[in-house]
Amino acid sequence: MFRRAAAAALALVPTLWLITPGAAAAGTAHTGREVPVAPGVALSSSRAAGDDGTRRFSMLSVDLDGPAAVSYLGGESLTDPAPLARLRAPGGTVAAVNGDFFDSGASGAPLGAAVRGGTLLKSPTAGHRHVAAIDPSGRGGIHRASFSGTADLPGADVAVDRLNSHRVPVDGTGVFTPAWGGHPRGRAAGSGPVTELVIGEQTVRSVRDSAGSGPIEPGTRVLLGRGAAAERLAEVPVGAAVALDYTLRAGGFRPRTAVGGRHVLLRDGEVTGADDGARHPRSAIGFSRTGRRMFLLVADGRAPGTRGATLQETAERLRRAGAHDALEFDGGGSATLLAREPGTERPVIRNRTGGPERAVPNGLAVHVPAGDGTARGVWVRPRLGARPERGSALSPRPDPHRVFSGLSRALTARAYDSAHGPAPESGLTWAAEGGTVDSGVFRAGAPGEARVTARTGGARGAAGMRVLPGPARLETEPDALAFAGASGGRRFVVDGVAPDGTRAPIEPADAAVSVEPDLAAVTRRGDGSLLVEPTAESGTGTVTVEAGGRSVAVPLRIGSRSVRLADFDDAASWRAETYRAASAEVAPAEGYSGRGLALDYDFTAQRRSRAAYAAAPAPLQVGGTAFGFSVRVRGDGGGALVALAVTDAEGRRHSCYGERVDWQGWRTAEIDVPEGVAHPVAVERVYLVETRSARQYRGRVVFDDLRAFAAPAG
């Protein structure tokens, strides 16, 4: 009944309503393990416990005196963002991090400066003048970027204010090169008089009285003037000689590589105090005092088990790692860290943001020369990962290097060469201390420390394991399962708890599972989870799991009920809110049956994603698991998406999207609940959102009969 796939375009919808203050951390303790990504490049993960939840960080440390180099990572053009893994990366890339904030919902261009291989791509925008820069010697630092330029015109020179920027100042000028891409330059031009000079081989080829669009030809640049500058450029005839010169300096030098950011988090080894009063996924970069070590840090957030980190917590984590100066990169859904494992080529995502990977304009790539192709070592680790994949509804698992006595842990092993890249294997042999191992499956012996070793030829590697006493009890996540009917499936995982409270994952192979066959079927999955698929349209029962001499029962409920959340008789108590919309108003109106709530909105102010909200006087609680929502909408044909803002059981906020209101008159709109939501939830806002920057309109819709479809009570 309800769709599960969110529209890709919505990955860029900013949600200011998500911003909430976070309490100060208390009782912080850090733990983590290190992955040798390449010589001089190491990845570590850590967990920091506080009064208001757990912060989870991943950090890449790069020795800039070693073989690793750092380069700019970008799309086909500045206005062609893409997921980090699809940006243009140099050969030998072993890790990458997202970079700058960007013109979201419009051009997609980065807001700060950008330099690739010594070539200046973009000037900084006001408010985004700091950069993470690599100098010609390979040393890194956080600096304030300074851009200057001149257009040598007939009669008198004109200052160049911007390069490839989405915003040219009033009465100022901006240069656009082929690196800008094909996005219309009208957003940069704003309102008022505009003149463009198309310049090739230092000669004016054409003069235009409006901002152009489409790709700029190779060898050609466009000089755009606004207001007074437009009048000056209009005096320049076709065929006139025009020379353009501009440069960017940061820290007294011209960077070889530079990516912009926002807040400076550390300066001279001290936390600056920059903060935005919120917990979010984070991304940041830092450098040591000498600039010879780089730190790339991401914090998980908006995902089960973690709400995110504050900027001050991010800064403090970098300071403790050894950073002397640090800069905030774009966080939220943009925060992405990629790093490979030893013995592999492709970097993989190392953080969670509660949603799919977002398209970003740029980043930094860490790359190393190719290795010798000979096995120099073996990387051994548990097959089961502690961090679920991005977008998963599951929380992070306990450390899989812990295992209960008598139970098993499946391991994986890969040979790696001198650069930690793939190497040929001449058959793996296994050995174990503190237990037995067969084809990579370790069976734990008596409690204590254990070690599992893998060899291929003369190369070897090992993983340390901690064997716990048998579990005192078993726990599952989630602790109950609900389905709307005989379709779909949900995963759950089983963890054991030792007598002293230490936790460890239970392998599906060690679990005996039973369930009424006329209710559901259970399948063991290779990712360490169990998949439950209902076989009946309705009913109740349990899924029973036994392992290590203990058992746990998971309640199972199939079927749904319709629950009215709002009839809008209290429409006068709702309030209007906006995000980038020119205005929004709410008022009582004639509904589908009785009174409804009218939302008047104006989406003509900006050419970016915009939203108009109707906020409930109090959260609308949904008991149990919510499978989806519906609301009657008297449409205006404008085409905005109808959506709900909900808060889940962990205090995380989510946007639930329905369909575009492309109809007129009354119709029922269905709205999905995204994966990763912790139930029960509460609805806080009903709203419209327009994600298409070219659409400019205003209108009115009326809402009535907001309902949730949830698991039956009891």
Please indicate, yes or no, whether residues 477 and 391 belong to a single structural domain of this protein: no
* Residues 657 and 671 sit within 8 Å (Cβ to Cβ): yes
Place of tokens 């859904």: 333
What is the pTM for the complete model shown? 0.89
How far is residue 440's CA from residue 448's CA, in Å, rounded to a whole number?
20
Please indicate, yes or no, whether residues 339 and 269 belong to a single structural domain of this protein: yes
Please indicate, yes or no, whether residues 402 and 358 belong to a single structural domain of this protein: no
Please indicate, yes or no, whether residues 358 and 397 belong to a single structural domain of this protein: no
Structure token digits, residue 514: 């039973």
* Residues 96 and 69 sit within 8 Å (Cβ to Cβ): no
What is the chain's length? Answer: 714
Query: Is residue 115 a part of any domain in this protein?
Result: no
Decide if pLDDT at 693 tops 90: no
707 bridge partner residues: 564, 630
- DSSP secondary structure string, 388-443? PPTT-SSPPPPPTTEEETT-EEEEEEEEE-TTS-B---S--EEEEESEEEETTEEE
Query: Is residue 9 a part of any domain in this protein?
Result: no
The one-letter code for the residue type at 536 is A
* Residues 46 and 32 sit within 8 Å (Cβ to Cβ): yes
Q: Which pairing describes strands 220-226 and 243-250: parallel, antiparallel, or unpaired?
A: unpaired
Specify the DSSP element, H or E, that contains 199. strand 194-200
Please indicate, yes or no, whether residues 535 and 593 belong to a single structural domain of this protein: no
Q: What is the DSSP letter of 87?
A: S
Enclosing domain of residue 453 = 379-468
CATH no. for residue 667? 2.60.120.260
Decide if pLDDT at 394 tops 60: yes
What order of strands is seen across the sheet that includes strand 575-579? 575-579, 610-622, 681-690, 641-647, 653-660
Among 48-62, 278-292, 687-701, the minimum mean pLDDT is found in 48-62
Query: Is residue 165 a part of any domain in this protein?
Result: yes
Q: What are φ and ψ of residue 227, in 5° steps?
A: 55, -125
From the number of C-beta atoms within 10 Å of its C-beta (0-12, 13-18, 19+), residue 155 rates as exposed
Specify the DSSP element, H or E, that contains 628. strand 626-636
Query: Is residue 46 a part of any domain in this protein?
Result: yes
Q: What are φ and ψ of residue 382, in 5° steps?
A: -60, 140
Residue ending a domain, choose from 521, 556, 591: 556
Please give the span between the terminal C-alpha atoms of the chain, in angstroms, as a whole number: 23
Please indicate, yes or no, whether residues 641 and 605 belong to a single structural domain of this protein: yes
* Residues above pLDDT 70, as percent of the chain: 95
Residue ending a domain, choose from 423, 439, 468: 468
Q: What is the pLDDT of residue 77?
A: 97
Specify the DSSP element, H or E, that contains 59. strand 53-63
Q: What is the pLDDT of residue 714?
A: 60
How far is residue 136's CA from residue 256's CA, in Å, rounded to a whole number?
5
| Tally of structural domains, the chain | 5
CB within 8 Å of 259: residues ≥ 6 apart:
72, 99, 100, 110, 112, 113, 114, 131, 132, 329, 362, 363, 364
Q: How confident is the model at residue 25 (pLDDT cuts 50, 70, 90)?
A: very low
Q: What is the pLDDT of residue 12?
A: 38
Please indicate, yes or no, whether residues 569 and 706 belong to a single structural domain of this protein: yes
Please indicate, yes or no, whether residues 582 and 703 belong to a single structural domain of this protein: yes
Please indicate, yes or no, whether residues 689 and 570 belong to a single structural domain of this protein: yes
Average pLDDT estimate for 206-229: 97
Place of tokens 């257009």: 151
Q: What are φ and ψ of residue 331, in 5° steps?
A: -110, -145
Please indicate, yes or no, whether residues 703 and 590 belong to a single structural domain of this protein: yes
Residue ending a domain, choose from 435, 468, 501: 468
How far is residue 347's CA from residue 350's CA, in Å, rounded to a whole number?
9
Q: How confident is the model at residue 356 (pLDDT cuts 50, 70, 90)?
A: confident
Distance of CA 396 to the CA centre of its chain: 17
Higher confidence at residue 601 or residue 276?
601
Q: What is the pLDDT of residue 9?
A: 39
Cα–Cα distance list, 474 to 408, 478, 533 (Å):
15, 12, 22
| b (16+ CB within 10 A) / e for 101-122 | bbbbbbbbbbbbbbbbeeebbb
Please indicate, yes or no, whether residues 340 and 422 belong to a single structural domain of this protein: no
Q: What is the pLDDT of residue 2?
A: 42
How many angstroms separate the most distant Cα atoms in the chain? 91
How far is residue 178's CA from residue 121's CA, in Å, rounded to a whole number?
10
Specify the DSSP element, H or E, that contains 228. helix 228-234
Kindly report, residue by residue over 546-563, the tens digit of the pLDDT. 999 999 999 999 999 999
How far is residue 600's CA from residue 604's CA, in Å, rounded to a whole number?
13
How far is residue 629's CA from residue 330's CA, in Å, rounded to a whole number?
32
Q: What is the pLDDT of residue 212?
A: 95
Structure token digits, residue 541: 């029962």
How far is residue 458's CA from residue 355's CA, in Å, rounded to a whole number?
43
Q: What is the pLDDT of residue 50?
A: 75
Mean pLDDT of the chain: 93
CATH no. for residue 497? 2.60.40
Place of tokens 């959506």: 643
Q: State whether the Cα torsion 148-152-153-154 is positive or negative.
A: positive
Place of tokens 């998500």: 18
Query: Is residue 520 a part of any domain in this protein?
Result: yes
Average pLDDT estimate for 629-651: 96
Q: What is the pLDDT of residue 173?
A: 98
Q: How confident is the model at residue 605 (pLDDT cuts 50, 70, 90)?
A: confident
Beta strands in 201-358 (DSSP E): 203-208, 220-226, 243-250, 257-260, 264-267, 270-271, 282-287, 293-299, 325-329, 337-339, 348-349
Higher confidence at residue 607 or residue 558?
558
Decide if pLDDT at 89 tops 50: yes
How many CA atoms are closer than 13 Å to the CA of 6, on its beta-carbon side? 22
Q: Report the phi/psi class of residue 36: left, alpha or beta, with left for phi > 0 and alpha for psi in -120 to 50.
A: beta
Kindly report, residue by residue over 489-542, the tens digit of the pLDDT. 999 999 999 999 999 999 999 999 999 999 999 999 999 999 999 999 999 999
Q: What is the pLDDT of residue 31?
A: 44
Q: What is the pLDDT of residue 93?
A: 98
Query: Is residue 621 a part of any domain in this protein?
Result: yes
Query: Is residue 305 a part of any domain in this protein?
Result: yes
Please indicate, yes or no, whether residues 694 and 582 belong to a single structural domain of this protein: yes
Structure token digits, residue 156: 């008198």
Collapsing DSSP to helix, strand or coil, 72 comes out as: strand
How far is residue 354's CA from residue 300's CA, in Å, rounded to a whole number?
8
Structure token digits, residue 699: 């209108």
Q: How confident is the model at residue 606 (pLDDT cuts 50, 70, 90)?
A: confident
Kindly report, residue by residue over 137-192, the tens digit of the pLDDT. 999 999 999 999 999 999 899 999 999 999 999 999 999 999 999 999 998 998 89
Q: How confident is the model at residue 363 (pLDDT cuts 50, 70, 90)?
A: very high
Q: How confident is the model at residue 354 (pLDDT cuts 50, 70, 90)?
A: confident
Distance of CA 256 to the CA centre of its chain: 27
How far is residue 463's CA from residue 380's CA, in Å, rounded to a whole number?
6
Query: Is residue 126 a part of any domain in this protein?
Result: no
* Residues 684 and 645 sit within 8 Å (Cβ to Cβ): yes
The one-letter code for the residue type at 632 is R
